[in-house]
Amino acid sequence: MYDIGDIVTVNDKMQHTYEYVISAKPGADFDCGFEPHLSPDAMLEMGVFEGKYCNDCRDELPPEWFEKAKISQKPDPSLNAFGIKSRQPISVWRNKGWIIEPDPRGWFQWYCRYYLGRRLPDVDRAQIKRWRAFKRHKAQVRANCEPGDVWCRPRQRQALLQWAYDSFV
């Protein structure tokens, strides 16, 4: 969809005339130590954020990401990979300091833009640090679940999925 040097202009409910430049090859050239297990389109296909996340910002993202995505106009926990409620209002994210500008929708929006090739060193460093810290949940799943029991700790597994960790191992 995008090539290096392209300028992406965003006009959606949360951002108006925000622009960024594609400065890396989409899906490649990730920071050392940032190795997400899943691409954004794979996450959307598996079921994240109760299907209610990218509805008004689809013009910014590649259309093929939505070909198999589980999307809904209203939050629907049954669309999540583990069929459980998994999201909090964005107001909670703001109050907890989890929103790092210029991505008002949070980590997944940052990841989508990073995956597309946007690079903002300070923002990237902060978000990658958050991603690394989240893997502690994977250790908890491994410590408390029998190998192969993918339905053990579904809340943690859904949360891991929403941070691009493979929750089915």
The residue among 89, 88, 50 whose CA lies nearest residue 71 is: 50
pTM above 0.85, yes or no: yes
Q: pLDDT of 91-101, one tens digit each? A: 998 999 999 99
Q: Which of 116, 49, 38 is nearest to 82 (CA)?
A: 49
- Cα(144)–Cα(50) distance, integer angstroms: 25
105-114 confidence digits (pLDDT tens): 999 999 999 9
- With H, G, I as helix, E, B as strand and everything else as coil, classify residue 61: coil
- pLDDT digit string (tens) for 5-31? 999 999 999 999 999 999 999 999 999
